[in-house]
Amino acid sequence: MAQWVLTYEEAAAAGPEAAGGKGYNLGRLAAFGFPVPPGVVIAAGAYQAFLERNGLVARVEALAQVTAAQATDPEVVAELERLQAAIRGGELPPGLAEELAAALEAVGIHRSPLAVRSSAAAEDSSRTSFAGIHRSFLNVRGLPDVLEKVRACYASLWTPQAVAYRRRLGVRDEDAALAVVVCELVPAVASGVAFSADPVTGRRDRVVIAAGFGLGESVVMGTGEVDQYVVAVTNTSPARVLDVTRGRKRHRVVPAEGGGTRLDPLGEAERVAPVLERPQVEKLALLVLRVQDVLGDGHIPQDVEWCWDGFQFVLTQARPVTAIPWPTFPELSGQPLIWSNANLKDAYPGVQSPLGWWLNAATHEVMAWHLLAAGGYPVPEGMTWSRLYQGRMYLNLSAIQWALWDAFGLRPEATNRALGGHQPTISLPPEPPGKGRERLRRLVRLGRAMRRAAARAPRLFQEVREWMEAEAAQDLDRLEDRELVRKLWELEVRRRELLPEAMIHNVNSQWSGRLAEFLEREFPGRGEALTAALLSGSGGVVSAEPGYRLVAIARVAAREPQARDYFLEEPLDVRAWRERLLGTRTLERLEQFLRDFGFRAVYEMEIQNPRWVEDPSYVLQVVASHLRSGEIPEDPRAPARERRRQAEREVARRLLWRPHRYLLYRFLLARARQGMRLREGAKEALVRLLWPMRRWALAAGRRLVRRGLLREAGEVFLLTGNEIVALLTREWDGAGLGAILEHRRRHLAELARLEPPDVILDDRPQPRSVALLQGEPAGAGQGAGALPAGAVLAGLGVAAGVASGRARILRHPGEGSRLGPGEVLVAPSTDPAWTPLFLRAAAVVTEVGGFLSHGAIVAREYGIPAVVNAAGATRVIRDGERIRVDGDRGLIFREGAGDGATGARARG
């Protein structure tokens, strides 16, 4: 006999095709420990068997030809009414009644008032909600009444409204097969719906709650006035009620004695009384955010139906909010939103941890807003500047391009050049009169802010260092749980205070673009190359210092037999480094290195990744690679200094006899060099700010281990801040936590196997291009092979010079031991952890990046040629083949091919 009735656990495992959207999500909520009413799910297969048993299959199939417009034609309406009557009078599949009775008794609700709710297979998905389309019944009593309501749910699939809805959304009738949820009726004092984002404006920093007295029919069906609450949700404080709209409520929906519901009139006082008090609202907001964290992977807004039974909130339904807008500028209306990993893939190349995304999403909102506010530009509230897609972070390039153009006159093409990436540009509307004067005023204000920030920078960076050291000295394990929660808010407030300065320093780095434009007028065709050369070896670029210091440590180790023997052993015993180096100058230098740079890490903007002070294995491997190469430069700064001096002499010969132009050049050069130092200093400060936050997370993890909720402290990075706070404040007892952790491990592993797009238009991923200069972009077959004979890859030249060598394709800095001296490092992207490897490379090629990316800045500082934003480089170039990198022109040649090829560079 077929199994028609599923437990919640079985419904979650069976998926929406069997349990319907509502049953599947209820099963998942139960598995993940959320409070839901006990119940069962009648599988969609029972509906199919019902149609077959009652000879209705042919009648249903005949209706497949009915269009949305025809669904209200009188003859179609009449046929649908006859079909509904046949369904209501039909016989249920054999054994279903007995199986349902046993299942209800097993979960202890066979004598309770019940809710019988439709759960279509295509219902409650990210694309279709079917809200209010199919029937649900409250206060159903006794098995015969339940079975009657199950048939009524089946019949509700065939109303004119349901058919038209399916046709408009392109949902086939067979894909809407109906399951039915049968659960206990919650004795609701109050009920309502809550959205984890504002469903009208799309603001992701708001939770919106509608609440009414009694059962939830009056709220979800819009039949009564309700109270509405808007709650602000940030990383710097608990949820906070911002606005309350008090409805004049006339009735409450209550169970009727004989079954069903009735409206009870409210007294005058109750009509104006709040349905929920503020603490309840804030508690519910945190619960709804936790639903988004689990069912919506931390970023997909959820629509949640809830009841308050006088003691706790019980969730009766959850689904993605469909058709929610992204807040954007009105001038971009009608254009697709451009999402790009430009300027992010270097820092966040992999799948974000749940805690990492919870922190990083807020980081970008603050930084983007402050830059525009510093120029006096009115930023729309709630603008979303970043999002997740397939677990990776993307920037809202439509908003960024428009804001920088509208505020300061920076053309979208220039924004793309600065950020790198392979995204298109927005279309610009006609300019209104007087726009130039507005921009000039904003530029003046921004210039003042930049000068103030530059003057404050040394003091600010010192403050960050001192603050980090003070926080690192605190024993967080001694704090009470609620004190640890307050420490989270303190840390985030401090980060928020310092983030705006970091964004201003990003703008200070734009002086390099002004210098390149100036030099292009004086040296046509060579402006960018000369700028790159002039910025080589300028000094003070903090992200270059670890590379220099590790070379110096390798030189010391080479002169100490004890240290040299240790580093030349294969495999390197990274756990015994202190013991093996005891008494050597090498150990002293390494310990000092970790005191100075131990807060850094491989892919350091991801909080989950261990800092070097916790795990120095990468640092040790870099030193070992220098020793094994047999080529440790005495003065790694020398090549960059010489390249810079040659460029300085060339420019001086042309401009020295034109004093005004020469003085302008010297002014721009000084600002460009300062801008590079400030940008990298600001990036270092941001990374320093993450170390106290990581220490906080691990302290919370240890605490949860002691409570038996986690197996090891590092599992805390699989949780969001909302979840950690709920556990520490005992708002959540940890029920379902094991299932959440297992789900996330599996889901993150699935995402890591995907090859994400570089660009998304709205929600449509765009195919990756290959930046071939000659011929069309390579297709799928071509892109997987070697560089076609005579072809040239094109990107953006960001560090001057030409170098040849064998290509070494690395996808992670941990593979750095494969890079031999004088080889060309080819990588998808690079963050500061890669830069110690640059000193062994003849040149650097990356698939993403811009003139201001960290890899570009460090390559210039080291004086090695670099081409970034060369789309498809790791797919087209074959590991080990010889290539030539022209950092002056942004071109990559196969060794032996002519370098006089002409053509337009690849877009992006």
The string of DSSP codes covering 399-445 is HHHHHHHHHH---HHHHHHHH--S---PPPPPPPTTHHHHHHHHHHH
What phi, psi does 5 have (nearest 5°)? Answer: -110, 130
**Cα three-residue angle 541-545-550, rounded to 5 degrees:** 160
Q: What is the CATH number of the domain that holds 119?
A: 3.30.1490.20
* Pair 163, 63: CB distance under 8 Å: yes
Q: What is the CATH number of the domain that holds 276?
A: 3.30.470.20
The range of the structural domain enclosing residue 792 comes to 780-894
Ramachandran quadrant class, 162 (left: phi over 0; alpha: psi -120 to 50; beta: rest) = alpha
Residue 103 belongs to a domain: yes
Residue 161 belongs to a domain: yes
Does residue 166 sit in the same domain as residue 215?
no
* Helix H or strand E segment including 679: helix 659-706
Residue 796 belongs to a domain: yes
Does residue 228 sit in the same domain as residue 244?
yes
Residue 325 belongs to a domain: no
Distance (Å, whole) CA 448 – CA 456: 12
- Look at residue 774 in the predicted model and tell me its pLDDT: 40
Does residue 177 sit in the same domain as residue 28?
yes
Does residue 641 sit in the same domain as residue 585?
yes
What does the block give as tokens for 494? 């401090």
Residue 497 belongs to a domain: no
* Pair 382, 232: CB distance under 8 Å: no
The beta strand positions in 295-407, using DSSP E, are 302-308, 313-320, 338-340, 386-389, 392-396
Cβ-proximal residues to 170 (8 Å cutoff; 6+ apart), any chain: none
Domain limit, last residue, from 405, 430, 455:
430
Domain limit, last residue, from 265, 289, 320:
320
Does residue 11 sit in the same domain as residue 122?
yes
Residue 762 belongs to a domain: no
Residue 120 belongs to a domain: yes
- Look at residue 650 in the predicted model and tell me its pLDDT: 94
Distance (Å, whole) CA 448 – CA 452: 6
Compute CA distances 164 → 15, 125, 159, 655, whole Å.
25, 18, 9, 74
Residues in the chain with pLDDT < 50?
A: 124, 128-129, 773-789, 897-908
Q: What is the number of domains present in the chain?
A: 5
User: Position 353: which residue type?
Assistant: S
Does residue 307 sit in the same domain as residue 373?
no
Does residue 142 sit in the same domain as residue 274?
no
- Look at residue 258 in the predicted model and tell me its pLDDT: 87
- Look at residue 908 in the predicted model and tell me its pLDDT: 32
- Look at residue 898 in the predicted model and tell me its pLDDT: 46
Does residue 53 sit in the same domain as residue 148?
yes
Does residue 555 sit in the same domain as residue 658?
yes
Residue 771 belongs to a domain: no
Does residue 198 sit in the same domain as residue 314?
yes
Does residue 203 sit in the same domain as residue 176?
no
Domain limit, last residue, from 621, 642, 667:
667
Does residue 86 sit in the same domain as residue 164?
yes
